[in-house]
Structure 1
């Protein structure tokens, strides 16, 4: 997969100033599944130019309730409310419903509760088709996105993270197309979605057991050699987690995923020279912190 590097586009215009009190931040204890749909809805509201008063009048819901919903505060919202807001914000229903439903189940809402919430808006929960260019983009990058996610997550979580990524992109597709680089925008969504599900130690992501599925480990058949190789790989993974974000992504794609530099450039939306520079600096750092194994029979 090789896509040409896109030159930066002019910066987007800032969202128009709106009267009234500024919307507060999203609650810190919100789950990643809840944030997956709330983030795009909140961003759409902030760039829409609408005020809470205008939304309140249109959906017939108190301003305080809308503010709480857009901050993730209070009870998990029913689908009828989300649907009413999404209609005024002109957001696609199907990906929003999928993300809302997943978050509801993770919030321990029963399937019966979910079903009751959708009875009055059943038509909006029927599967729809994303834009043609979104579908084409997904076909181009989905397998690479799965390889990246697999380095951090188990199979089920990997599939969920990648699926959520494309649902979020569908919700924000106009923003992606209007951004300086659609590929870079999409990668930031994938990375945020994967990292929200990835265990962290001291603020740095842990590479998962799936990352052991490498050519090196597969080629080691002797049990003792395999144990030594696993120990060295664990040391490597720990060092890799200390890399800056983009260098870590480059190393995961290049060294664990075996993806060509040109394809990494297309995935990240950065020049090929940047990919090579990031890989070179990352390798230099790893070599400086990982002690090479002692040579057998080495003399003083």
Structure 2
């Protein structure tokens, strides 16, 4: 099961578990056998047609437009042809739901506030195309799970975990650690260097730094990416992650201490981080 498949299936499974409906109830309303429904909700068996997902969305009161976008992308990842996807979407019921609808007002405001900052974070790890897809998927997943986000202790922290999971699911990993060395060629440290020699030295240092950063715990890595690669202030980092300012500063101190302990200082005597 791919990451995009999981991104729409998990909210649907949660909606079913909290609905109070039995599998038999769902089978009657959706007109699908209990065994097929069980397979669908477990993410096994054949990839489901949109008309089935639509029936479930209506029954479970899930927003249909973000669900459709995620379903369609996951179908592509599952190697379904464009013809199969279009045919599955063109049923009498499905045709009514494949046009964009507006998300909740609060969701739209949250997206307007955070989308550009989320994009800066995502582009450290992903290509431009992957970055745009990850950001779009992040806000679709948030739309699907908006009630869960509002019920959480902090919407910002909830949303950041959605963003992080979406970005990391697309980021190459080695030995369980994210690889983002491509960012060395577009880091802040390179922007003011003009000579080839200076740039090559800085790239070598950046590659070493990024390799070491990949070993940091998740939140320390995020803090360092936001602070040192994206240029955010500690207050902005605190707001994005939905954590207290003291926590963000503590994470940065611990991360810097670790990096200084594993990175060889350059010959110029400058600090590595």
Sort the TM-score into its range (normalised by shorter chain).
over 0.9
Deviation sequence 1:174-205 (CA, Å, 0-9, x none): 01001111111101100111111111111111
1:174 has 2:162 as partner: no
Q: Aligned ranges for residues 197-276 of structure 1 at < 5 Å? A: 197-210=170-183, 212-276=185-249
Residue 160 of structure 1 is matched in structure 2 by 133
Listed as ranges, the gaps of 5+ residues in structure 1 are 1-29
CA distance in 1, matches of 2:166, 2:268: 42
Which of 149, 162, 180 is the equivalent residue of 2:122?
Answer: 149
Residue 156 of structure 2 is matched in structure 1 by 183
SS at match of 2:36: helix
TM normalised by structure 1 equals 0.86
Deviation sequence 1:139-190 (CA, Å, 0-9, x none): 0000110011111100000010010000000001001001111111101100
Q: Which moved more, 1:225-234 or 1:153-162?
A: 225-234
Structure having greater relative contact order (Cα 8 Å, sep ≥ 6): 1
Listed as ranges, the gaps of 5+ residues in structure 2 are none
Q: Which moved more, 1:34-43 or 1:137-146?
A: 34-43
Which of 75, 96, 99 is the equivalent residue of 1:126?
Answer: 99
TM normalised by structure 2 equals 0.95
Please tell me whether the aligned partners of residues 237 and 248 of structure 2 are also in contact (alpha carbons under 8 angstroms).
yes
CA distance in 2, matches of 1:206, 1:95: 29
Aligned residues: 267
SS at match of 2:97: helix
Q: Point out the structure with the larger helix share.
A: 2
Deviation at 1:218, TM superposition (A): 1.9
1:91 has 2:59 as partner: no
Residue 12 of structure 2 is matched in structure 1 by 41
CA distance in 2, matches of 1:255, 1:109: 41
Q: Which moved more, 1:213-222 or 1:159-168?
A: 213-222
Residue 113 of structure 1 is matched in structure 2 by 84
CA distance in 2, matches of 1:180, 1:124: 32
